[in-house]
Amino acid sequence: MTVHIIIVPPTNPCPKHPGEEAGNCWFCGEKKLPPKRYNAAFDTQGNQRNIVPEFKPLICPKHSMPNFPHGCFKCEAERYQEMTEAEANRRLVDAINSESKQLWKTIRDKESAARWAGGKCSHGHYLYEEYCNVCSIKRIDPDYDVDLYRDTINKALRNAKAALGGLFRADVRDYNKNCGVGDEIKLTEQQKNFAEIESMVDMEVWRATKKYGSEMNERRAYAVARNVAGKFLSDLIEETTIFEGLDFDFMTPEDREAADKLLKQCDEVQGLEQLAKDRDAKPEDRETAKRLMKEYGRRSGRFKSLDERIEEDDDTSPAEWEIHQQEARERTIDVSDVADALEEQREKLRRLLPSLRGKELVVGKAMLSPDFQVSKVPGVDKSSVSRIRKVILGKLNRL
């Protein structure tokens, strides 16, 4: 392959050097040099920078060795040694602090032992022989072993432990005994509830042991523990939640018939709760009411924070939502839109009526009237109408 190089002759040759342009001759010193490239002392606009580059001599003045951009080899070794010394000093300080905490813990334990002889029992009580219900059993029945049915009791409390996120007392005691200073387990309110269940179970198992004597066995201990835990959880749910009504959509035909029969006696769904607590009622009605409330009851929290979010995807709290609703009511709205919305709600209410019972049915029929007023519902007082109306509106929103 042959490459041909074409040399274009200059249009205005230099008189001394014919191969160069006149006025731009390299040999005459007239050729223009290319423009300057990047200069660290100036920016792209030509303004002088304020940063003065650090001068580094070629030879390190301290060690008389070749100097590199980060210093000589001995300078690097000294910096690494300083970092190692700092790490060693930090570890030494940590060790001193740990030893100091241990010493102060020993001092506080001695002071506590002098103030509270014997310290706390496994149930968390000082002077436990007098103030702990479980430990005081030893004073009454010295030969009784509290841990005789411990494995059976733990099996019976598995569901309660999972529901409350609890920890068994023996596990907490062993962990706190072997952990470091300040690392002891701090129980939450739910875990304290489970600890209370354990203490109540120990007391009831002991009472059952005294009652049955030689006939006491693991099966009875298991039943006692399950019943105590179930009763405690039922009371806890009743204290922290409110019964709102029954879900008739999920009932079997037999349960629906039983619910209709009881609702005729109670006049309203909320009356089931009173029937379940009424000791003068028929035992079979009380048991049926309790079972229906347990299996089909709707409950909501008794205590709600105003800062709690209405939905998971919404950042609006109930207080803010109420303010927005008040502002929306104050704005001018189209009457035709309101009429359409009311008609749509009435249509939903007509579909909801067959599932209402007692006073809810009476209030629901009254709400269909355009002239509905809370104080003018026959046979139902004003406060009950106001409360039942909120329940019905909640059901309408869920349709």
Whether 31 maps to a domain, the answer reads no
Q: What is the mean pLDDT of residues 256-275?
A: 78
The pLDDT, as a whole number, for residue 172 is 79
Whether 37 maps to a domain, the answer reads no
pLDDT for residue 72 is more than 90: no
Whether 193 maps to a domain, the answer reads yes
Whether 316 maps to a domain, the answer reads no
Measured in degrees and rounded to the nearest 5, phi and psi for residue 100 equal -65, -40
Q: Rg (Cα) of the chain, in Å, rounded?
A: 43
The pLDDT, as a whole number, for residue 152 is 92
pLDDT band per the 50, 70, 90 thresholds, residue 219: very high
Whether 17 maps to a domain, the answer reads no
Helix (H) or strand (E) holding 164: helix 158-164
d(CA 94, CA 102): 12
The one-letter code for the residue type at 396 is: L
Number of folded domains in the chain? 2
pLDDT in tens, 334-366: 444 444 555 677 787 888 888 887 888 888 888
Residue 201: which residues within 8 A CB-CB, separation 6 or more? 153, 156, 157, 224, 225, 228, 229
Q: What range does the domain containing 380 cover?
A: 346-399
- Residue count of the chain, please give it: 399
Residue 181: which residues within 8 A CB-CB, separation 6 or more? 98, 101, 102, 104, 105
Question: Which residue, 189, 210, 238, sits at the end of a domain?
Answer: 238
The pLDDT, as a whole number, for residue 2 is 61
Whether 106 maps to a domain, the answer reads no
The pLDDT, as a whole number, for residue 40 is 59
The pLDDT, as a whole number, for residue 335 is 41
The DSSP call for residue 282 is: -
Whether 384 maps to a domain, the answer reads yes
Question: Which residue, 220, 238, 256, sits at the end of a domain?
Answer: 238
pLDDT band per the 50, 70, 90 thresholds, residue 16: confident
Q: For residues 265 and 275, is the Cβ–Cβ distance under 8 A?
A: yes
Whether 309 maps to a domain, the answer reads no
pLDDT for residue 50 is more than 80: no
Question: Which residue, 200, 218, 238, sits at the end of a domain?
Answer: 238
pLDDT in tens, 193-209: 888 899 899 989 999 99
